[in-house]
Structure 1
Amino acid sequence: MSSTARIPSAEVDGLFGTVVKVATRRMFGKVPESVGVMWHHKDVLKASMGYGRKVDSWDRLDRNLATYAAMAAAASIGCSFCLDFGYFMAHNHGLDEGKAREVPRWRDSSMFTPVERRVMEYAEAMCQTPVAVTDELSAALLDDLGAAGLVELTARVGFMNATARGNIALGISSEEFADACGLAPLAAPNGTAAAAAVASGA
C-alpha cells in the first residue's frame, strides 16, 4: 500500500529501534508505516505502546467482547488501520475471527448475541459527540458484565477513541495486516459515513 500518512516516516534507528523492528516484523511481517510516523517523537510512541500493553493485559471483560467493542469504535470513527489491526489481532489471539470480520455491519448481522450487540452499541454511543450512552443501556450492561467489566469496556473504548482519532488525523490507514495473513476481507460496512470511509481504506 502506498504511503498515506501526513508526516513522512522517520528512520527507525538505535537500540530501541532495533527492538521495535524485530518485534513488529515478528508480529506483522514488516515494520508498519505508523511506527516510522510516531518515531519522530519516541516518548509518545513509548507511552502509547506501554499503555496499549497495559490495556491488553486487563481481564475483567471477555476477550471477544473487548475485541468487538474496540473494532465497533474503530468502524464508527472510521479508522481503517484500527479496524484491520483488531481483526488481525483477533486471529492472532485465537478469538472468534468469523464474528470479528462481521463487526463493521454488526447491526445487520445475525451472528451476534444480545450481549455482544449491547457492547457494540455502547462502543458506538461513546464515539458520538456528544456521547450518546443512555441510562438504560448502561444498566443492561451492568447486569451483563458487572461493574468491573463495564468500567473496563468504557476504558477500552476510550483508548480506541484516542488511538483512532489520532491515526486519522495523522493520515495513518490500513496496512492490510489481515489480508497478509490470509484472512477473509472484513465484511462490507453499511450506511454511515464513517463505515464508508473504512470500506474505502481512508
Structure 2
Amino acid sequence: MSRIQPLAPAAAGSFVRLAYRLARRQLGEVPEPFAVTAHHPRLFRTSLRHELGLQRASHVASAPLVELAVYRTGRTVGCSWCVDFGEMLQRMEGLDVERLRHIDDFETHPAFTEDEREVIRLSDAMTATPMTVTDEQVTRLVAQHGRDGALELVYQVAHENHRARFNHALGITDQGYSSGDACRVPWATT
C-alpha cells in the first residue's frame, strides 16, 4: 500500500476521471503512481503533459534500447513498480523479457549486445550517487546514436530516475503489469 492513498474516482474532478478511463483503456488498469499524483491537480496535469510530450519527442534512439535503459534504472533504484511496468513495456515491444533475468550478468551474458551493454553502463553511471558518467561514454553514445539519440537516452534515464525515486519514496510497489494481469488500484475508502 502506498504511503499516500490513490485518489478515488468518486473524489476526482472530471479531467482526472477522464484520464483514469483513458489509462484503464490503454493499460488495463489505472497506474497507481498516476492515481497518487492525481491528488495534486496541477502536478497531475504537468506530469501527464510531460509524459505524453516525452513519448512524442523520443524517436531517434531505438525503443528497445530506451526500454532496457529505463528498466535497468528502475531496478537499480529499487522501484518494483517501475520494474513491473518496464517488463510489460518490453513485452509489448515484442522483446525477449526472459533475458532480463540475466541483467546483472549483462557484461558477459550472450543475450545482450555491445550496444545494449553500453546503454546499461550509462544507466548505471547516471543512477549512481554521485554520478560516474564519463566523457568517453557520452562520446561513444553520440558516435553510435547521433547527438539526438544520445540526448534521448540520457534524458530517458534521468527521467526514469525521477519516476523511480518518486514511486519508491511513496511506497508504490508493483501492480501486476508484467504478468499481464494488472491489479486494480486500492482506492482509499476515506
Gaps of 5+ in 2: 183-190
Instruction: Give the % identical residues.
Output: 28
Structure 1 position 10 matched with structure 2 position 7: yes
The equivalent of 2:41 in structure 1 is: 42
For the residue of structure 2 that corresponds to 1:130, the secondary structure is coil
Cα-to-partner distance string for 1:11-54 (whole Å, 9 max, x where unaligned): 23232132122112212322233233112102111111211112
Cα-to-partner distance string for 1:161-193 (whole Å, 9 max, x where unaligned): 1111111111111111111349xxxxxxxxxxx
The equivalent of 1:166 in structure 2 is: 166
The 1:100–1:17 alpha-carbon spacing in structure 2 relative to 1, beyond 3 Å, is: farther
Report the Cα offset of residue 102 of structure 1. Answer: 4.1
What is the distance in 1 between the residues matched to 2:81 and 2:127? 17
Cα-to-partner distance string for 1:129-174 (whole Å, 9 max, x where unaligned): 1110122222222211111111111111111111111111111111
The equivalent of 2:21 in structure 1 is: 22
Query: Normalization by structure 2: what TM-score?
Result: 0.84
Name the amino acid aligned to 1:25: R
Check conservation: 2:91, 2:97, Cα contact below 8 A.
no
Name the amino acid aligned to 2:172: I
Greater CA drift, 116-125 or 41-50: 41-50
Greater CA drift, 102-111 or 27-36: 102-111
The equivalent of 2:187 in structure 1 is: none
Report the Cα offset of residue 60 of structure 1. Answer: 1.2
Gaps of 5+ in 1: 183-202
What is the distance in 2 between the residues matched to 1:56 and 1:71? 16
Check conservation: 1:71, 1:103, Cα contact below 8 A.
no
Cα-to-partner distance string for 1:100-119 (whole Å, 9 max, x where unaligned): 73474334532110011001
What is the distance in 1 between the residues matched to 2:91 and 2:133? 30
The equivalent of 1:197 in structure 2 is: none
Please tell me the root mean square deviation across aligned C-alpha atoms, in Å: 2.0
The equivalent of 1:88 in structure 2 is: 88
